[in-house]
Amino acid sequence: MKAPPSRSRAPESSALKPLPPGFHGDVRERLRARAEAEGLDGILLLGAGNVRYATGWHVSVNERPVGLWLPLGAKALLLVPLLELENAQAVPRIEVRTYEEFPGKRPPVLWMIEETNARKMAVDVLGAELLAPSRAMLDRLDLVDHARPERAVKHDAELTLIREAAGFADMVLERLLSAGPDIIRQGGTEADLMTDSTAHVGKILADTHGDAFQETKTKITASVHSGPRAALPHGAVTARRPQPGEPIIAGIGCSLGGYHAESGVTLVLGEIRPEQRRIMEAMAAAGAATVDALERGWRCDRVNEAALDALRGAGLGDAIRHRIGHGMGVEGHEAPWLAPGDDTPTAPGMVFSCEPGVYRPGLDGWRTIDTLVVGREGVEVASRFQRDHPLLTRVLPC
């Protein structure tokens, strides 16, 4: 499918580098301080995101568990399967020990606990089948994720990567807006739209940052859904051809140096009808309510309610299918959650997606996505596509 040249360009920050080892060393010291304050011998991290956060090693997630033991007054210990030995040894200032294979005659996590020689520890995640034998090996086992509050508040170096990732996510939408009309006129499908925009920007991302970030997760992900299929919040991108008058939801994620950001929009193929404009305006109101609530420092669950109330007030309550947003950082979806059940107070340094969605099964669906950075002086919208393209300009001419 042939598309015209795009006017997209890379963000300005072409000299970025991955987070230095000192950053991850500081993380480990803060976690040790938490262990000491709780009267523990140390903390065992088993969650892949937590291990990544505390080491900078972008471990391959599979069935073989990887652990990081952070003892008081001793060197950190990476506990890994033998096939990951060389990768783990590349992490500076950390000792490495290996187990042979999974599932093994002895479960690897029990082996890890034994290797620590500890009596009192906290573990971030633990399978239910391992709970009883783990407790039998220890005097005290706290099932507490001490990394979660550390990860929730980002430092300046992390925010720099997130902002850059948001710029590349925006660039995919810019490509879709500029190249999409010609692709559709040639009979292009959802899959064609996604392939063109992600491939185009993926090359720019690789050309700009590929050399510096080879050892980290750096990539573009996307989904494109149109018409009645847009009513599926999650669905496979298909060979369906968008039709005149239909919405086209595009949700874009970008990871740079292992840090994530998102940008998303709903475009209309052809003219925006009055009912469609009403929905788009209600979603914009939900986004504005999210920003306002974050600037007030409200709890996450209260931010969610304030945002969704804007949709309910527009008569769209029955079309709500999900929370307003989630945290982002070393994982694309991470705590805190702008959702019912999360009473975390929002604070400067936190990063959230804002994703108002309206879904009408059998008819259509609508969603926008912004990456929001909570600051001391207000909320920064790191993804700028919606700001640069007001509601009535989000049109693909047909």
Asked if the structure places residue 384 within a domain, the reply is yes
Sheet of strand 247-256, all strands in order from the earlier edge strand to the far edge: 219-226, 247-256, 259-269, 395-396
Handedness of CA 116, 151, 63, 215 (dihedral sign): negative
Asked if the structure places residue 8 within a domain, the reply is no
Q: How many domains does the chain have?
A: 2
Domain boundary among 119, 145, 171: 145
Domain boundary among 145, 180, 203: 145
Q: Where are the beta strands (DSSP E) in the chain?
A: 42-45, 67-71, 77-81, 95-99, 120-123, 140-143, 219-226, 247-256, 259-269, 325-327, 334-338, 351-354, 357-360, 364-367, 370-374, 379-381, 395-396
Query: In terms of Cα–Cα distance, which of 59, 64, 60 is closest to 81?
Result: 64
Give per-residue pLDDT as tens, 123-171. 999 999 999 999 999 999 999 999 999 999 999 999 999 999 999 999 9
Asked if the structure places residue 137 within a domain, the reply is yes
pLDDT band (50, 70, 90) for residue 235:
confident
Asked if the structure places residue 277 within a domain, the reply is yes
What distance in Å separates the CA atoms of residue 78 and residue 45, rounded to the nearest whole number?
Answer: 10
Query: In terms of Cα–Cα distance, which of 366, 376, 339, 340 is closest to 275?
Result: 366
84 and 190 share a domain? no
Asked if the structure places residue 5 within a domain, the reply is no
Predicted local confidence at residue 83, as pLDDT: 96
Domain boundary among 145, 176, 206: 145
Predicted local confidence at residue 13, as pLDDT: 54
315 and 369 share a domain? yes
266 and 285 share a domain? yes
168 and 312 share a domain? yes
Reply yes or no on whether the pLDDT at 47 is more than 60: yes
136 and 115 share a domain? yes
Asked if the structure places residue 275 within a domain, the reply is yes
Q: Where are the beta strands (DSSP E) in 46-139?
A: 67-71, 77-81, 95-99, 120-123
Predicted local confidence at residue 11, as pLDDT: 54
374 and 320 share a domain? yes
Question: Which helix (H) or strand (E) element contains residue 52?
Answer: helix 48-55
225 and 347 share a domain? yes
Task: Give the mean pLDDT of the chain.
Answer: 95
Predicted local confidence at residue 7, as pLDDT: 40
Which two structure tokens, joined as six digits, stand for 43? 């903390």
Are 107 and 64 in contact, with CB atoms under 8 Å apart?
no
Predicted local confidence at residue 215, as pLDDT: 82
The owner of tokens 């902002």 is: 163
Give per-residue pLDDT as tens, 327-368. 999 999 999 999 999 999 999 999 999 999 999 999 999 999
Predicted local confidence at residue 2, as pLDDT: 41
325 and 191 share a domain? yes
Reply yes or no on whether the pLDDT at 4 is more than 60: no
Asked if the structure places residue 23 within a domain, the reply is no
What does 120-175 look like in DSSP terms, one character per residue?
EEEES---HHHHHHHHHH-SEEEE--THHHHHHS--HHHHHHHHHHHHHHHHHHHH
Are 98 and 81 in contact, with CB atoms under 8 Å apart?
yes
Reply yes or no on whether the pLDDT at 98 is more than 80: yes
Asked if the structure places residue 10 within a domain, the reply is no
Phi and psi at residue 172, to the nearest 5°: -65, -40
Give per-residue pLDDT as tens, 258-280. 999 999 999 999 999 999 999 99
Which two structure tokens, joined as six digits, stand for 307? 């945002």
323 and 276 share a domain? yes
Quick one: average pLDDT of 312-338? Answer: 98
Predicted local confidence at residue 14, as pLDDT: 58
Q: What is the CATH number of the domain that holds 96?
A: 3.40.350.10
Predicted local confidence at residue 247, as pLDDT: 98
pTM metric for this prediction: 0.95
For Cα atoms 108, 335, 320, give the angle at the middle one, nearest 5 degrees.
Answer: 125
Residue ranges making up the domain that contains 239: 153-396
